[in-house]
Amino acid sequence: MTTVAILEDEAPARERLEAALRRVEPTVVVAPPLTSVSDAVAWLAANPVDLVLADIQLADGLSFEVFEHVALTCPVVFCTAFDEYAIEAMAAGGIDYLLKPIKDAELVRALGRYRRLEAHFADRVRAVAAKLARPPRRLLARTRDGFVTLALDEVAYFFVDDKLVEAIARDGRRLGIDRPLAELEGELAGSDMFRLNRQYLVAPSAVRGFKPFVKGKLLVELMPAAPSDVIVSADNAARFKAWLGG
């Protein structure tokens, strides 16, 4: 039985997509409505699904933001009225890009792609589960002279600088990491690291303190000092405080 999450902020569009899905896949289980980035992040972080059908524009932003905060182990099919996001959608891990109004035949094609990948993703889930149970103790990092091994407990935080990921060591060293931040987040999910925002993935010992910022946001101070302001969104503030409090 396939469990599908639909990310769609327009009720009529969601109802049409769900009806089409049930026509072509009668045994499908559809998750509760997810109409915003914040709702989708919170729900998907706690509930595994087999497939995500995502509109591009949600109530509070683009669905791409969801996949920056949640390390999914399932395929994503983008369903939208806009064709200009196709390249970005594929870069975000999409296996198909359907333009509204969506025909049943197109949905069948997308589900066929999912079925062909199902065994592959089952293997990946097992691999990810093993990684989550035993986070790596060291990483390969890049310096000006080559590559070195960096113990995870030496890392204060990771951050993205002009699309390049760097590790900031507790002693202040900056080392390059040749992997996206989202991939690191998934690999280190069994550790104490926490994703503050799009740019920062931090260890609790690196947080020197924080204070209220505008509109419910938080301004976080890191050690060593961060190269830019570190802002936690209002939606992420409660999770941040809970994580920091242990």
Last residue of a domain, one of 104, 133, 162: 133
Domain count, the chain: 2
Question: Domain check: are 123 and 211 in the same one?
Answer: no
- Average pLDDT across the chain, whole number: 88
Question: Domain check: are 233 and 199 in the same one?
Answer: yes
Last residue of a domain, one of 71, 103, 133: 133
Q: How confident is the model at residue 119 (pLDDT cuts 50, 70, 90)?
A: low
Last residue of a domain, one of 133, 168, 194: 133
Question: Domain check: are 19 and 124 in the same one?
Answer: yes
Q: How confident is the model at residue 88 (pLDDT cuts 50, 70, 90)?
A: confident
Question: Domain check: are 77 and 94 in the same one?
Answer: yes
Question: Domain check: are 170 and 195 in the same one?
Answer: yes
DSSP 28: -
User: How many helices (H) and strands (E) would you count in the chain?
Assistant: 7, 17
pLDDT for the residue numbered 138: 86
Q: Using CA atoms, how far apart are residues 121 and 53, in angstroms rounded to an integer? A: 16
Q: Using CA atoms, how far apart are residues 106 and 4, in angstroms rounded to an integer? A: 16
Question: Domain check: are 146 and 224 in the same one?
Answer: yes
Look up the CATH number of the domain holding residue 82: 3.40.50.2300
Q: pTM to 2 decimals?
A: 0.49
- Residue 158 structure tokens: 């990771």
Instruction: Give the domain range for residue 159.
Output: 138-244
pLDDT for the residue numbered 127: 62
Question: Domain check: are 105 and 154 in the same one?
Answer: no
pLDDT digit string (tens) for 184-226?
888 887 788 999 999 999 999 999 999 999 999 999 999 999 9
What count of other Cβ atoms lies within 10 Å of the Cβ of residue 97?
A: 18
Q: How many residues belong to the chain?
A: 246
